[in-house]
Amino acid sequence: MLEEYEYTEPSRKRVYVLLLLLVLLAGIAIFVAFRTAGLKGVLASPDKQSDANAATVAAASSPPAVQPDGTSRDPDKPPAEAKEPPKPVEEPNEQKPTDPNDPNDKRPLRPAHKHPAFTQRAAERARMVDWQIEGRGIKDPNVLMAMRVVPRHAFIPQTEDRYAYADRPLPIGNDQTISQPYIVAFMTETLRLDPNSIVLEIGTGSGYQAAVCAEICRQVYTIEIVEELAKAATKRLKELGYPNVSVKAGDGYFGWPEHAPFDAIIGTAAAGRIPEPLIQQLKPGGTMILPYSDRDGLQYLLLIAKDQKGNLRKSTVMPVRFVPMTGEVQKPQAESNK
């Protein structure tokens, strides 16, 4: 029994076989290790190879990751890509002026800003934007830019001159008013306009809201039911240099089918129902904002988003006070389309 626990020397043959196996295994392991290391070396791109040194090289010679323009730089990107100009902040006015005589120049006509009004009272406008607009939460840089640029004092009667940048609506004649600057900015922001947008406005009034949109968009179409106001606004916008605003005298209820569909529609007179033609003329993916007046005469801003399938999503945004929308929308209807 004891023998079972005794160390018995294995036969020499078995030892040799074991040793041989070990050597073979070691050989295979070394071979595999070399092969993978070698392949990696072959497959690695020059860029990746240089990555190994990137940390030290970058630390020694490249510019800081945050560029002077505020954009951050990916240190792994080759310099050519890093140098690519950052996407410009949508400041339409930084574009080169459009050449209306060049048939190949398809860029939209931009506001000119040559009129002296643009340089007048700039400090008041800046203060208005700081306190009334940005201070109340408007963030869209295009809207803030437009509100700083458009000379509101050029859109109001002389008698109201000293209130031009005050935090309130002002009379513009014919019993109509120019909206409070904050409301203009707020409504414009909800439309998320960009330099390609085509906008329809119902209720030109003084033309101020149209000018604000025109600073951001490609083209603004605006309709005014009071002929006198439409004429005055057309003249004013022309003198100030807004080639991308077209004014029409008429009932905005019917929209402007010749130029439809629109990326955005803005109504600046309160209606008790949403004019059906305006819904038709809103592009899928587009947004419409208009003051809606309920049966009790309470008004609020109604935001209507049309999705790609044409479905509408309506939401009430804030209580407001606008002059009423007149014309067709006031005619009694058998069935409201709201």
Nearer to ligand SAH, 207 or 286 (CB): 207
Q: Can you give the binding site for ligand SAH, defined by CB under 6 A?
A: 172, 176-179, 202-203, 205-206, 208-209, 223-226, 229, 251-253, 268-269, 323, 325-327
What minimum distance in Å lies between the beta carbon of 150 and ligand SAH? 10
What minimum distance in Å lies between the beta carbon of 327 and ligand SAH? 4
Contact 313, 274 (CB under 8 A): no
Nearer to ligand SAH, 118 or 208 (CB): 208
| Joined tokens for residue 216 | 């951001």
Nearer to ligand SAH, 290 or 304 (CB): 290
What minimum distance in Å lies between the beta carbon of 140 and ligand SAH? 18
3-state DSSP percent of the chain in helix, strand and coil, to 5: 45, 20, 40
- Give the C-alpha separation, 237 to 208, whole Å: 9
Contact 264, 143 (CB under 8 A): no
For residue 272, how many other CB atoms are within 10 A of its CB? 17
Nearer to ligand SAH, 5 or 205 (CB): 205
What minimum distance in Å lies between the beta carbon of 71 and ligand SAH? 36
Q: Catalytic: which of 61, 72, 179, 293?
A: 179
Whether 246 is catalytic: no
| Joined tokens for residue 173 | 């004649």
Alpha carbon of 200 to those of 136, 245, 261, 270: distances in Å?
26, 10, 9, 16
Q: Which CB contacts under 8 angstroms, 24+ apart, belong to 93-96?
A: 93/145, 93/149, 93/215
Active centre residues (catalytic)? 179
